[in-house]
């Protein structure tokens, strides 16, 4: 039990720090700790609760940077994808899921970090944005990790850190709040989850504020390097633990 509390609190703090720094990534980071001590049906709603909490902590600070027209296709697709992901949560093999996600993240982020291809593509337009939103909503409903694909897509689009963060946060708040409702309907909210939330909440909020202070000092290039390094680390961790 002591080890479980330690891993849950540490995962919440590190996940909160990453979320405060990049605008996404709490679930990806926290799962690297949590999946050692709790199962997916506890880890997914716990990550979603903590992610919504952390997003709401920093969203007011970037509210003026939001581009509603840019967000609409992501959110429309994401809302359709959430119930699909939740429906598979109790059926999918967690080790297979971790391995596939890890491989995708390592291949993409490794290529972007080490080859440094210069993207500024508008390929696919708003329809492609909607498909990314759909897939991200699916991942949000499956494990609370709705921010991964928008992070990849932002690098492909060549957005600045302000554009990227505006999409990450507004999209994640919407999708993860929807995922929470979906988890509640599916019966995943239990007494055990309530105790885990009490342990995680303070650690998450402390981590978020620490991460935000670092974010404010980053240039666009440094921000994207941090995001890609995070994705690479998360992918390697998922592969190693699967």
Domain that holds residue 73: 2-241
Give yes or no for residue 56 having a pLDDT over 80.
yes
**Mean pLDDT, residues 45-52:** 90
Nearest to 233 by CA among 51, 95, 29, 36: 29
- Angle of helix 220-241 relative to helix 148-157, nearest 10 degrees, comes to 140
The token pair that represents 191 in the structure block: 């007494």
Tell me the C-alpha distance between 50 and 134, whole Å.
22
The pTM assigned to this predicted structure is: 0.77
Half-sphere exposure of 165 (CA within 13 A, CB side): 28
**Mean pLDDT, residues 136-165:** 82
Give Cα separations from 16 to 46, 132, 159, 207 (angstroms).
13, 24, 23, 4
Give yes or no for residue 94 having a pLDDT over 70.
no
Which pLDDT belongs to residue 164?
Answer: 82
Give yes or no for residue 117 having a pLDDT over 70.
no
- Backbone φ and ψ for 116, nearest 5 degrees, come out as 50, 50
Give yes or no for residue 190 having a pLDDT over 80.
yes
Which pLDDT belongs to residue 118?
Answer: 63
Domain count, the chain: 1
Give Cα separations from 153 to 14, 159, 194, 216, 237 (angstroms).
24, 9, 34, 22, 21
Give Cα separations from 67 to 54, 64, 162 (angstroms).
21, 9, 10
- Backbone φ and ψ for 31, nearest 5 degrees, come out as -60, -30
Q: Is the dihedral of CA 22, 170, 146, 27 positive or negative?
A: positive
Phi-psi region of 132 (alpha: psi -120 to 50; beta: other; left: phi over 0): alpha
**Mean pLDDT, residues 217-228:** 84
**Residue 102 — pLDDT band, cuts 50, 70, 90?**
confident
- Backbone φ and ψ for 37, nearest 5 degrees, come out as -125, -15
DSSP state of 38: S
The token pair that represents 117 in the structure block: 């291809």
**Mean pLDDT, residues 57-71:** 79
Q: Of the segments 72-81, 88-97, 232-241, which one has the largest average pLDDT value?
A: 72-81
**Residue 149 — pLDDT band, cuts 50, 70, 90?**
confident
Give yes or no for residue 59 having a pLDDT over 70.
yes
């Amino acid at each position: 039990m002591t080890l479980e509390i330690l891993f849950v609190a540490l995962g919440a703090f590190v996940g909160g720090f990453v979320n405060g720094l990049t605008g996404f990534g709490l679930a990806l980071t926290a799962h690297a700790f949590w999946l050692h001590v709790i199962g997916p049906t506890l880890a997914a709603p716990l990550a979603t609760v903590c992610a919504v909490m952390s997003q709401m902590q920093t969203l007011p600070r970037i509210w003026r940077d939001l581009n509603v027209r840019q967000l609409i296709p992501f959110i429309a697709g994401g809302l359709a994808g959430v119930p699909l992901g939740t429906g598979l949560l109790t059926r999918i093999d967690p080790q297979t899921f971790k391995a596939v996600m890890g491989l995708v993240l390592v291949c993409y982020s490794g290529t972007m970090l080490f080859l440094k291809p210069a993207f500024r593509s508008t390929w696919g337009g708003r329809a492609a944005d909607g498909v990314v939103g759909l897939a991200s909503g699916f991942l949000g409903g499956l494990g609370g990790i709705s921010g991964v694909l928008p992070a990849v897509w932002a690098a492909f689009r060549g957005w600045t850190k302000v554009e990227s963060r505006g999409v990450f946060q507004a999209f994640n708040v919407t999708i993860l709040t929807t995922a929470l409702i979906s988890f509640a309907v599916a019966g995943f909210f239990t007494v055990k989850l309530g105790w885990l939330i009490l342990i995680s909440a303070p650690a998450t909020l402390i981590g978020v504020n620490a991460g935000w202070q670092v974010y404010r000092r980053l240039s666009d290039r440094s921000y994207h390097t941090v995001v890609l390094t995070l994705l690479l680390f998360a992918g390697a961790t998922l592969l190693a633990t699967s």
